[in-house]
Amino acid sequence: MKGSEIRERFLNYFEERGHVIRESASLIPASDPTLLFTSAGMVPFKRYFFGEGDLPFRKVATSQRCLRNSDIEQVGRTSRHHTYFEMLGNFSFGDYFKEEAILWAWEFLVKDMGIPKERLWISIYYDDTEAGRIWEKIIGSSQKKRIVKRGEKDNFWKMGETGPCGPCSEIIYDQGPEVGCRMPTCSIDCDCDRYLELWNLVFTQFDRKKGGELTPLPQKNIDTGMGLERLSSIMQGVKSNFDTDLLRPIVDYVCKLAKVNYEDYVISLRIIADHIRAICFLIYDGVLPSNEGRGYVLRFLLRRAIRQIRRLGVTDTFLYKIVAITSSIYHELREDREHISNIVRLEEERFIHTLDKGLIVLEDMITQYSKRKQRAIKGEDVFRLYDTYGFPMELTEEVARERGFLIDKEGFDKEMEKQKRRSPWKKPKALPYEEVGREIKGTKEFTGYERYEEDIQISTILKDRHPIIEAKEGDIIEVTLTDKTPFYAEAGGQVGDTGELIAKDVKVEVTDTQKEKNGVVIHKGKVVRGHIRVGDRIKAKVDKSRRLAIAKNHTATHLLQGALRKILGRHIRQTGSYVSDTYFRFDFTHLKPLTLQERHMVEELVNEKIQDNLNVETFYTTKEQAKGLGAIALFEEEYGEVVRVVKISDFSMELCGGTHCRATGEIGIFKLIQETGVSSGVRRIEGRTGKSCYEYISRKEEILNEIEDYLKTDKIMERIGYLVETNKRLERENLSLKNRLAKGRIPDFISRAIYVEGIPIISEKVLDVDSTTLRELSDLLIERLRSGIVILGGVVDRHVVFIAKISKDLTQRVHAGKLINEVAKIVGGGGGGRPDFGQAGGIDQEKLEYALKEGIKIIKKRLEG
């Protein structure tokens, strides 16, 4: 039975028993900053376990994509550990409980799947007599010996130290005495592979208080999870998940392409097969390689897989070729196959250039540590591998572990922290509302799609995040309203509204609108006239002209995405946006900069749709129906069961809660201001519309006229071209003169040489020359000295540059590459090279002379040592 059929039969089984069937949620948990990835089937329903939000259903079943990296060291080494896997699960929120959950699980496995019941064992929490009674009733008292009681560690589930929790019961499959340790004492408590933990049934019935007290929950829930890969291995009669039809085709394809035998590279092939699934689905769900967060995990998986490919003897780009076979198993990947392949190939090309160098450096480190009889690699060395060669700390740890070494993680973290402090980019501070928490009362209802004003009552006033009864003139405050608000709270990339809260002799300037964690709309502003009290009736009035300008930019982003998908391809996905009244930013997935022609085509198509004055329609529907209609959603956004769709004729359809024009003609004009890179595989377009666009174009025209007046010609490009070429020629002549002057100083350099054991050492600063001249100068000096050591330092394009040259007879005593690397560290850089020649760079120009002096000391130590 194929894995796809098992998945379908599971969902059909529970649909027949009244469950709503939901498609898998993204690997990126929506609106849950506490989780990096969706790691279990219950994650998309987490808020319902906490009693938050309106329940759209009481019973639901899913086959959820999951990703965990906690057991990554075991991946490939066992038959059942994975980073990516699918979890089959059925859930109840205050509907059925233990009896139905246990009965249906047993029936599905024994009757529907046909698994022999004598192969199944049951574990229960030692104190859960109710579950024990139900199990005994279902499987028969004669099979009571197959029900095993366990403690809290194994059979009691909890989210944290406090909160929802409860006992659980696990169905365990016995693979037979021929599997695992084969000891006569082997039981379901053995760590070997014989007993397979198959299906976990969690009975969420308690609320754990501080101190450990358990109180019954008013609503008892069911949360179950069963690995599709494990059930597939049972149904397909294989002993390893990697031999199922979900993974074995990938393994066989890699063997064929790499021309290797499975038996010779079992662990490497399993790791590659596991990781490519995780890589494909992470990219499918919108994650791109980066140096932090989810992107860091993706990059680590990519680079770990690439290293395993090297172990197969493959040295060129290879991993991207496996995307095709993976998408043939998982049909949802097919549409994005090319996009996923391109990202994998790009990342692979970047890493393989440094992989070999990094491995050589790491092996050299390990050799040096071995000589010193040290078994832990320093954090600064681990960081150097990460910073210079792109080696994730975890990859260095893995290689080191294989050689019997540890790494200093704490030291690595300190070096990372130092780098962050050096970075000019600072993360914005979190909004203060979270500290106020759910005590804030007020409206969540937004009426601004139809209205710009509302007569309403003040619900809450906050000053310095503390509730107050009254605010006076000059106070900076935050206000909530009672029943409704026309003010749009910042969301979906669109900025919050501004405007006024006014009454007789009272005026509050609203400078921003935000949304609290519990959905309450908060109006930030300043009392500019009079006093305002809780309970006062006021008129909430939105700045209409600003709102309309925002709407123009927001509708333009929808047109822009439609144009990008039409011109560049369907792989285009929005990854972020910022929409204000003056301009907008739109971030999207694309591997390379747009050509000038592509930019013109995109801009032209958007303006064409504006001129067509297309109708902008908004309507509400279910999430499933919207998806069926082809509506595009932002992957990290959380959507309820009922969603708002913004449809622009047959050109664009997106899930969106923002404010928009009624027709595209209201936008007036669109100008693509610039297109840049944000990160690997993500591009950003900035644009303007309406009045802001007109002002931008007018200013550009003014600048153009000023340039014409200054150059005294209307043939601007021709004149600028002439001036640029003239300037380049003069710069070349100037540099050539400086280079000749520098070479003329060779006798001075030789006269200032320092001698150690009769060996001349020249360490000089040479300014106003290029790197080529520094190299030529070092060659001429060694040629004149015949035997000696030369270090030259200069500044080229505001960066420190070093050259080291050593005569052949001295390379056994001093290595030029290693010497210059130590010197460069003093100016915050590094480098390397051959025994007779090395070059390096750095950033701290002020330490150039000091570094050159230290270079002499380093040479002395080498020669005298």
Residue range 40-98, pLDDT digits in tens = 999 988 888 877 767 889 999 999 999 998 888 889 988 899 999 999 999 999 999 99
Tens of pLDDT, residues 20-36: 999 999 999 876 777 89
Pairing relationship of beta strands 59-67 and 20-22 according to DSSP bridges: parallel
Rounded CA separation 528/137 (Å)? 73
**pLDDT value at 429 more than 90:** no
Q: Which of 1-15, 286-300, 445-459, 539-553 has the lowest mean pLDDT?
A: 286-300
Other residues' Cβ atoms within 10 Å of the Cβ of residue 865: 6
Residue 561 · residue 623 · CB < 8 Å: no
Rounded CA separation 465/171 (Å)? 50
Residue 91 · residue 224 · CB < 8 Å: yes
Phi-psi label, residue 293: left if phi above 0, alpha if psi -120 to 50, beta otherwise: left
Q: Can you tell me which residue has the tokens 């329609």? A: 617
Q: Is 438 exposed, middle or buried (0-12, 13-18, 19+ CB in 10 A)?
A: exposed
**pLDDT value at 428 more than 60:** no
The mean per-residue pLDDT over the stretch 409-429 comes to 67
For the chain, give the mean pLDDT.
Answer: 90
Rounded CA separation 458/456 (Å)? 7
811 CA to centre of own chain: 47
Tens of pLDDT, residues 813-854: 999 999 999 999 999 998 999 999 999 999 999 999 999 999
Q: Which of 232-236, 338-342, 418-422, 712-716 has the lowest mean pLDDT?
A: 418-422
Pairing relationship of beta strands 466-468 and 453-463 according to DSSP bridges: antiparallel
Supply 545's token pair: 């002209």
Residue 458 · residue 479 · CB < 8 Å: yes
Rounded CA separation 490/522 (Å)? 10
pLDDT for the residue 635: 59
- How much of the chain, in percent, has pLDDT values that exceed 90? 64
Higher pLDDT: 803 or 212? It is 803
Tens of pLDDT, residues 700-759: 999 999 999 998 888 888 989 999 999 989 988 877 777 777 778 889 999 999 999 899
E strand or H helix at 798, and its extent? Answer: none
Phi-psi label, residue 3: left if phi above 0, alpha if psi -120 to 50, beta otherwise: alpha
E strand or H helix at 294, and its extent? Answer: helix 293-311
Q: How many residues are there in the chain?
A: 865
Sign of torsion over alpha carbons 264, 265, 267, 270: negative
Direct distance between the N- and C-terminal alpha carbons of the chain, in angstroms, rounded to an integer = 71
- How much of the chain, in percent, has pLDDT values that exceed 70? 97
E strand or H helix at 256, and its extent? Answer: helix 248-258
Who's near 309: CB < 8 A, 6+ residues apart? 258, 268, 272, 318, 319
Q: Which of 12-16, 190-194, 853-857 has the lowest mean pLDDT?
A: 190-194
**pLDDT value at 425 more than 50:** no
Amino acid of residue 149: K
Under DSSP, the state recorded for 485 is B
pLDDT for the residue 537: 95
pLDDT for the residue 31: 63
Tens of pLDDT, residues 119-169: 999 999 999 999 999 999 999 877 888 999 999 999 999 877 788 899 999
The top-scoring range by mean pLDDT among 286-290, 606-610, 626-630 is 606-610
**pLDDT value at 331 more than 50:** yes
Phi and psi for 328 in degrees, rounded to 5?
A: -75, -25
Residue 437 pLDDT class (50, 70, 90 cuts) = very low
Supply 156's token pair: 């009691």
Pairing relationship of beta strands 406-407 and 147-150 according to DSSP bridges: unpaired
Task: Quickly list H helices, 372-408.
Answer: 379-389, 393-402
Who's near 677: CB < 8 A, 6+ residues apart? 593, 683, 684
Supply 502's token pair: 């006014």
Q: Can you tell me which residue has the tokens 């998309």? A: 44
Instruction: Name the nearest CA neighbour of 731 among 785, 769, 787.
Output: 769
Other residues' Cβ atoms within 10 Å of the Cβ of residue 452: 17
Tens of pLDDT, residues 783-794: 999 999 999 999
Q: Model pTM?
A: 0.69
Ordered strands of the 837-842 beta sheet: 754-756, 759-765, 789-796, 799-806, 837-842, 830-833
Residue 438 pLDDT class (50, 70, 90 cuts) = very low
pLDDT for the residue 439: 58
Rounded CA separation 546/540 (Å)? 15
Residue 772 pLDDT class (50, 70, 90 cuts) = confident
**pLDDT value at 773 more than 60:** yes
Which whole-number Å values give the CA distances from 857 to 67, 253, 271, 764, 785, in the listed order? Answer: 53, 57, 48, 14, 20
Higher pLDDT: 766 or 354? It is 766
**pLDDT value at 424 more than 50:** no
Supply 357's token pair: 């160098």
The top-scoring range by mean pLDDT among 406-410, 443-447, 546-550 is 546-550
Sign of torsion over alpha carbons 455, 461, 463, 465: negative
Ordered strands of the 642-648 beta sheet: 616-622, 642-648, 652-655
The mean per-residue pLDDT over the stretch 654-664 comes to 96
pLDDT for the residue 512: 97
